[in-house]
Amino acid sequence: MRIKKVVLSFLFLILSVSLWSQEKIKNVIVMIPDGCSISLVSLSRYYEQWRTGDPNFSLAIDPYFCGLVRSTCSNAPIGDSAPTGSCYFNGQPAQKGNIGIYPQKTDQDLYEIDSSRAYFPLATLMEVAKLEGKSTGIVATSQFTHATPASTSAHYYDRNAEEIIAKQMVYNHIDVVLAGGTKYLQPHIEYLTSRGYDIIRTKEELYQTQSPKYWGVFDSINMPCFIDQKDGEFPSLAEMTQKAIETLSQNDQGFFLMVEGSLIDWAMHNLDAKTGILEFLEFDKAVDVAIQFAIADQHTLVVIVPDHGTSGISIGGKNTNSGYAKKSLDQFFQPFEEQDHALTKKDTLLRAKLELTSLISFTTFGHTGEDLLLAIYHPNQKAAMGHCRNYEITEYIVKELGWNQLLNKTTESIYKPHYQVYNHLTPTIYDQDLLSPTLTYKDKRNQITYYGNTNYAIKNGEIIEFESVIIYIDKIKTFFIPNRRQM
């Protein structure tokens, strides 16, 4: 009888360990189709059905839809990529233009806002992942300094300050970055190569690199839209996602990867339905890459969610006011046959012809505030369900990683206001150059200078490196200093 109990206990232990192992999330991939409304998803699915002739065509994302997300600014229902993207990574709705910081309080806030924390940097999921020993990566088709990629690892009140954002991202020591933005990376190439990073500029170099750390920048600003690319000159979003996963997954501690289909939003701002559809379909191929990896790995969470809608694109418009129930797929998509490039301002005749024949309409050049799609792959089918607010996406990821209060604790640890660290000394702040501001403390025996937008200080001639970046916010004349040094 006793032997039987021992055997049963042993089997129970094995089963428990096995179940725990299956459920433990080690890797997270957050995928953002920027500016993508559900209408664009529907149009993309219909377009491929029409193009392929397959009545049963489905998208890679289709089996994983699980809910809706309300994504807003802190004080307005229509979101901007900077605060809405930031919210997914730090859990705090913020104002237009904000990258990774706490918002100011206004008289029209949609959430409770603490006025004493205005402009304070907020640690991101990617920064926590790095401090927890995970590898980190960014894949995008815009420049890496654009709002969504920046929101993973930079902190500033103005999304357009891309030189400052670039410097912060470089010194935040992300392992893999694949995007556009040679213009913004150029000043930092020497520093990155000195730290063991490969600098990649072509598709061939991307395939060849075996380095665990690299920056791939494939155009001066954003990469070209898919419709404008010729002969596979540039790596696709799916190819970049595949390469990033292959590299990051070599870390036994896991990884955190953000993938953005950036140019969906740009096409929608341009009221260019065909380009937007093709950009979403390219994003969907990247979704397939991520989910196939996650299915095989069984320790990877994939979260797919836009940051906002753009353009109010709709299936139907003024040309479907009558006879809408008789319009064929041919009538929807045949007008696209004349378009072989992303529309520009010079395409006035083509735009006029498309508007005359198109059954697809737009309501605005700008963003829209409708609820957004949510799709999740979880190895144990523990997806967030129903209607969520944007900050609840962060809470869900934190819970699945088992991080509990780690996000808030990290903010308190790595972004302390300088006056709380050295409250007995008077600082000297140099901020005439906001790209390279400095904070200096000096007494009779010691002098230390912190260099803003980097990860280092110099104390009595010795360089001290930190595990996170030093942030300076000139609006409140405050440096935010990390207290964790690199080992």
CATH code for the domain in which residue 448 is found: 3.30.457.10
What is residue 486's predicted lDDT score, i.e. its pLDDT?
57
| Cα–Cα dist 434/451, whole Å | 11
For residue 119 the two structure tokens come to 């402009």
For residues 369 and 472, membership in a common domain is answered with: no
SS3 label, residue 185: helix
For residues 433 and 374, membership in a common domain is answered with: no
Q: Is residue 175 in a domain? A: yes
Length of the chain: 487
Q: Is residue 326 in a domain? A: no
| Cα–Cα dist 427/60, whole Å | 55
CATH of residue 267's domain is: 3.40.720.10
Torsions phi, psi for 369 (to 5 deg): -115, 20
What is residue 484's predicted lDDT score, i.e. its pLDDT?
64
What is residue 361's predicted lDDT score, i.e. its pLDDT?
96
What is residue 8's predicted lDDT score, i.e. its pLDDT?
47
Q: Is residue 209 in a domain? A: yes
For residues 298 and 432, membership in a common domain is answered with: no
Instruction: Choose one of 377, 395, 413: the last residue of a domain.
Output: 413
Q: Is residue 19 in a domain? A: no
| Cα–Cα dist 408/125, whole Å | 10
The kind and range of the H/E element at 89 are helix 81-90
For residues 294 and 375, membership in a common domain is answered with: yes
What is residue 1's predicted lDDT score, i.e. its pLDDT?
52
What is residue 444's predicted lDDT score, i.e. its pLDDT?
86
For residues 409 and 448, membership in a common domain is answered with: no
Q: Is residue 343 in a domain? A: no
What is residue 172's predicted lDDT score, i.e. its pLDDT?
97
What is residue 56's predicted lDDT score, i.e. its pLDDT?
95
For residues 449 and 402, membership in a common domain is answered with: no
This prediction has a pTM of: 0.94
For residues 264 and 304, membership in a common domain is answered with: yes
What is residue 15's predicted lDDT score, i.e. its pLDDT?
41
| Cα–Cα dist 438/416, whole Å | 16
**Residue 266 class from Cβ within 10 Å (0-12 exposed, 13-18 middle, 19+ buried)?**
buried
Q: What is the pLDDT of residues 4-17, one digit of tens each?
A: 554 444 444 444 44
| Complete DSSP assignment for 323-365 | SGGG--HHHHHGGGGG--S---TT-HHHHHHHHHH-SEE-S-S
Torsion of CA 303, 305, 307, 310, to 10 degrees: 160
Question: What is the distance, to the nearest Å, from the Cα of residue 266 to the centroid of all Cα atoms in its chain?
Answer: 16
For residues 107 and 214, membership in a common domain is answered with: yes
| Cα–Cα dist 379/469, whole Å | 34
For residue 167 the two structure tokens come to 């410097």
For residues 370 and 477, membership in a common domain is answered with: no
For residues 133 and 264, membership in a common domain is answered with: yes
Domain count, the chain: 2
Instruction: Choose one of 397, 413, 429: the last residue of a domain.
Output: 413
What is residue 17's predicted lDDT score, i.e. its pLDDT?
43
Return the amino acid letter for 466.
F
Q: What is the pLDDT of residues 157-182, one digit of tens each?
A: 999 999 999 999 999 999 999 999 99
For residues 138 and 268, membership in a common domain is answered with: yes
Residues of the chain with confidence (pLDDT) below 50: 6-21, 487
Print the domain residue range for 432. 415-481
For residues 397 and 420, membership in a common domain is answered with: no
Q: Is residue 344 in a domain? A: no
What is residue 231's predicted lDDT score, i.e. its pLDDT?
82
Instruction: Choose one of 413, 437, 454: the last residue of a domain.
Output: 413
Q: Residue 138: beta bridge partners?
A: 177, 258
